[in-house]
A and B are shown apart, each in its own frame.
Chain A
């Protein structure tokens, strides 16, 4: 988890940015004193990381989302409080961004903090999502997001899954396609994300750090 202080998590919507962001922030907290998770999602009305605010706060992670409280709001408003962790050099920041280039539009406002070498921008990819099942699809998504966010992707995250039906083969199928996309972009595969039980069976020689996750956003009955 030797990433830059500011981590921007982007990708196609439904690619798994929020689950990754939450798991990542929790892991980050084990290594750092001050961790902030910023929910910049202005696309989704449901399943936003702000729903986990109390759980994250209990773990000592600051949660910054819209200044309009309540899960019943779909107003595309972000909080002025986002600037705090971006400016405070002692805070580790995870920006959980809304899907696609539409969601990445919120990032434009923070461009001044996205100096070369000061941030990482990871694109989460699930090859089982229709729009990013091919190398071309992934590249199209990355380029569109880079354009609106005015930041550069520094790594890809292979998050190929079918929720609880995921097999090792799914992850490896994704790894092949994500690797080709990463090569074209000239960036590494930074993480390979999988449910704990699947992650345990992954070969250890694949590119990227194997990143086992728990599903925080998905109730048992889902």
Chain B
């Protein structure tokens, strides 16, 4: 298939449909509106496909609970404050072990915030805004091609682990345009959805989708089982990219749009003879701890760059285990750091510029 020029939100929708997503439930919010718009146009063209504009984000996420429980591939999307509203449902979906792909095209916060790009939902995404001991994968694409590939992967991963998966793109990923192509995923071996509520036809005992437990011992057992699953995800699904980190004195840690900017800063610094590199987490949870630990043996300092007032920097510190100084540079509220600002911060760290 030839490359098409797409807007991030459209590309995410197209990737979901390619991955077999049949149902989309959502409620409008800028800057992700082109995604539900795309789904509303394209899903009805697919046999058995349906798009529903729900009455709220809370309704949409609970429709996901229902559709996922019936074994269907389904997706919802929103942006920051809308994602906040979905958190209860995400916790239920994780508790009931349902596969679903949830997209957050994040914007400035807190509260209603603003419509410009932001990465201030890192805590919300990786710590879980909902209640209870639950975890879910968080993919953070830095290009539209990667967004396409990760969305397709996300459906497989969700099915494989019976767990919700979040795809987190800042507003820029949703709004910018890039050429993309759709490649067949390498295809994981996926278990049959024999747990889904598809009707017993009086041939089996009913399947029950539930996140309520009346017996604390049973709930603890369920929690332990979930924890074992999360450990498996931590073991198997961590993804990151190293960019010129081998000999770097300062390793920038950045994801999503910020990583694109940091890459330019690294190149500019290298031209000036300053050894900078970048470790780009592709999964925010599980966080690429080993990639941080590896550079602590060679680098002199770490710099977390985010479109927030400092959230991922906490995971960088945890993974660093006190070995290197950890610095932070961030812009927030919809402001985007420039390559020069990042380069200046690196120079300040190595003492070249005060």
Interface residues of A (CB under 8 A from B): 13-14, 44-47, 71-74, 126, 128-130, 133, 161-163, 165, 220-222
Task: Decide if A71 touches B116 in the complex (CB within 8 Å).
Answer: yes
Greatest chain B CB density within 10 A among A13, A221, A222 is at A221
From known contacts A14-B177, A126-B5, infer whether A46 and B260 are also in contact, taking CB-CB under 8 Å. Answer: no
The answer for the CA separation of A161 and B179 in the assembled complex, in Å, is 9
92-148 of chain B: CB within 8 A of chain A: 108, 114-117
Interface assignment of B264: CB less than 8 Å from any CB of chain A: yes
From known contacts A46-B31, A72-B115, A72-B116, infer whether A162 and B3 are also in contact, taking CB-CB under 8 Å. Answer: yes
B260 — which chain A residues lie within 8 A by C-beta?
A: 221-222
In the complex, per-residue mask of B1-27: 1 if CB is within 8 Å of any chain A CB, else 0: 011111100100010000000000000
Of the A-B pairs whose beta carbons lie under 8 Å apart in the complex, a sample of 11, sorted by A's number, is A45-B115, A46-B31, A46-B172, A47-B176, A71-B334, A74-B115, A128-B3, A220-B339, A221-B261, A221-B263, A222-B260
Interface assignment of B246: CB less than 8 Å from any CB of chain A: no
Interface assignment of B88: CB less than 8 Å from any CB of chain A: no
249-271 of chain B: CB within 8 A of chain A: 260-261, 263-264
B7 — which chain A residues lie within 8 A by C-beta?
A: 13-14
The answer for the CA separation of A162 and B264 in the assembled complex, in Å, is 21
B178 — which chain A residues lie within 8 A by C-beta?
A: 163
Question: A143: shortest Cβ distance to chain B, in Å?
Answer: 17
User: What residue of chain A has the Cβ atom nearest to residue B175's Cβ?
Assistant: A46
Question: A40: shortest Cβ distance to chain B, in Å?
Answer: 18
- Residues of B contacting A: mostly: mixed
Task: Decide if A46 touches B114 in the complex (CB within 8 Å).
Answer: no
Task: Decide if A221 touches B264 in the complex (CB within 8 Å).
Answer: yes
The answer for the CA separation of A13 and B31 in the assembled complex, in Å, is 15
Q: Contacting B4 at CB < 8 Å: which of A72, A130, A220?
A: A130
From known contacts A47-B175, A72-B114, A220-B264, infer whether A163 and B339 are also in contact, taking CB-CB under 8 Å. Answer: no
The answer for the CA separation of A73 and B31 in the assembled complex, in Å, is 11
A13 — which chain B residues lie within 8 A by C-beta?
A: 7
The answer for the CA separation of A220 and B263 in the assembled complex, in Å, is 11
The answer for the CA separation of A74 and B263 in the assembled complex, in Å, is 30
A74 — which chain B residues lie within 8 A by C-beta?
A: 30, 115
Task: Decide if B261 touches A128 in the complex (CB within 8 Å).
Answer: no
The answer for the CA separation of A83 and B265 in the assembled complex, in Å, is 44
A165 — which chain B residues lie within 8 A by C-beta?
A: 3, 179
Q: A45-B30, A222-B260 are in contact. List 8 more A-B contacts (CB 8 A).
A: A14-B10, A46-B117, A46-B172, A47-B176, A129-B6, A133-B4, A163-B178, A221-B339
Interface assignment of B36: CB less than 8 Å from any CB of chain A: no
Q: Contacting B5 at CB < 8 Å: which of A47, A72, A162, A220?
A: A162
User: What residue of chain A has the Cβ atom nearest to residue B260's Cβ?
Assistant: A221
A44 — which chain B residues lie within 8 A by C-beta?
A: 175
Question: B163: shortest Cβ distance to chain A, in Å?
Answer: 32
B177 — which chain A residues lie within 8 A by C-beta?
A: 14, 163
The answer for the CA separation of A133 and B5 in the assembled complex, in Å, is 11
User: What residue of chain A has the Cβ atom nearest to residue B337's Cβ?
Assistant: A221
318-341 of chain B: CB within 8 A of chain A: 334, 339
Interface assignment of B171: CB less than 8 Å from any CB of chain A: yes
Task: Decide if B5 touches A45 in the complex (CB within 8 Å).
Answer: no
The answer for the CA separation of A168 and B316 in the assembled complex, in Å, is 45
A133 — which chain B residues lie within 8 A by C-beta?
A: 4
Task: Decide if A128 touches B4 in the complex (CB within 8 Å).
Answer: yes
A161 — which chain B residues lie within 8 A by C-beta?
A: 5
B171 — which chain A residues lie within 8 A by C-beta?
A: 45-46
A162 — which chain B residues lie within 8 A by C-beta?
A: 3, 5, 179
From known contacts A72-B115, A74-B30, A220-B264, infer whether A130 and B6 are also in contact, taking CB-CB under 8 Å. Answer: yes
User: What residue of chain A has the Cβ atom nearest to residue B31's Cβ?
Assistant: A45
B117 — which chain A residues lie within 8 A by C-beta?
A: 46
B31 — which chain A residues lie within 8 A by C-beta?
A: 45-46
The answer for the CA separation of A97 and B179 in the assembled complex, in Å, is 23
Question: B267: shortest Cβ distance to chain A, in Å?
Answer: 10
B5 — which chain A residues lie within 8 A by C-beta?
A: 14, 126, 128-129, 161-163
The answer for the CA separation of A200 and B6 in the assembled complex, in Å, is 26
